[in-house]
Structure 1
């Protein structure tokens, strides 16, 4: 069916919606498991077909969200590697923010891989994309660093990994909260205690 659409002039890199990247990242019906919420990037064969037919891992929608963004959130590390090898850029797509949400496998190696590839560990989500930043703020989202997201989710292992790789716990999110504040608000005691135990940055110490 996809091949018929492609032959008929379908743009394989056209966004599905303002907040939905192209079809490589879209949901489809898995005819093996009959799961309605699979994504193309979760299927190795389908991912290969898309890449072979010109799918761009960096194709965006109305915000800085790409097929590679969805892959780091919903697929194994092997898929992320494949998309990067096919031109996927770690400079867009807010990859580390999505990586800490990955429930497919332990995201520790994924996070290390992205940082080694050049992902900015202390970037506030969408800070390099003002249009996306303003759009999400207008919709009521609170935007922070990957450490904020990991702290809010209560994943101590990922929080430790991020800190060990240079995450700055003194950065505040768009509402003025630290990562430790998010952990406290969600009652993740172990994460809050760990973040509170970190040395105070020289800048904060002078305030």
Structure 2
């Protein structure tokens, strides 16, 4: 059985009709012939774009075109995900697959075409295939969310044209298409959504994170710079924990973002737990961020609400390179303060003498 299975799947993927014919003649192509994820040869033909094999398997061998793999995907889902439009068209118009059918995650073929960046498939589905762009997956995602996250501007434009209400739609965890574009660092999509679609850059995810925070956390400096410069977004925006863009950049070691924020006047603030960006950098062992913050006047002796300095957090988490650096700088700055006090006393003494 496993020999025939391997031959059948390989033939379906390669488009080798002769092998499929001989397997069928030998009575080896039953509907029980499934791979380890329960996909049939029809799935393999569809996801490889081999229409002649797909048709043969459905029309001659009578394998079900609507068969589902373990994740609930039909061959139509597979063709949409890999972008083979002719296979998808045949499955939807001749093969009995239905355009609104969902896999186990609630995704339709339109979701998958958008998610994997196939604008030609998106276009056909919207304008000939009867797809509905207002359907959400189990996580509350529209096709427009996937196009934005993928950075697929042509698909996004088609979807916005079809369903403008989707522009500010939020998934179950509160992410908008703009939030996802910023998180993935897609500058052109970010500009398009804000400038052409009036996407709201202040809509927050459930945890209070804004598109600015998402860009900072992932280290996408061009997106962050654009948001602050052109989208009326403030450096001081806080999530539900009181964290700013600077906290997010520091905690993930994004030195470019951190330097840009400091250079352009962003404040080093404390979150609701008393933690500064320096605490976050130290806790995660981000030495270069610790150095940038220390040089830019972050308070080394600031304690969070548990009474810990950044150096303490670095130490607890085993980041000895960070704790050593911070304690050294602390000692030096203390000596420097003492030194400058002595110098000013000398100066006063000189003035009294004169």
TM-score, L = length of structure 1: 0.70
**1:182 counterpart (300, 313, 317):** 313
Which residue is equivalent to 2:103? none
Question: Within the alignment, does 1:90 sit opposite 2:221 as a pair?
Answer: no
Which residue is equivalent to 2:186? 43
| Deviates most, 86-95 or 43-52 | 43-52
1:92-171 to 2 correspondences below 5 Å: 92-93=237-238, 94-102=244-252, 107-121=254-268, 123-125=269-271, 127=272, 144-171=275-302
The structure-2 alpha-carbon separation of the partners of 1:179 and 1:45, relative to structure 1 and needing over 3 Å to count, comes to: same
| Deviates most, 88-97 or 112-121 | 112-121
Q: How many residues align?
A: 171
Which residue is equivalent to 1:70? 214
**1:80 counterpart (209, 224, 228):** 224
Which residue is equivalent to 1:30? none
Structure 1, unaligned runs of 5 or more:
28-38, 128-141, 203-207
| Deviates most, 153-162 or 47-56 | 47-56
Which residue is equivalent to 1:22? 176
SS in 1 for 2:178: helix
**1:56 counterpart (179, 196, 200):** 200
The structure-2 alpha-carbon separation of the partners of 1:74 and 1:45, relative to structure 1 and needing over 3 Å to count, comes to: same
Deviation, 1:23, is: 2.7
TM-score, L = length of structure 2: 0.43
More helix by share: 2
The structure-2 alpha-carbon separation of the partners of 1:7 and 1:75, relative to structure 1 and needing over 3 Å to count, comes to: farther
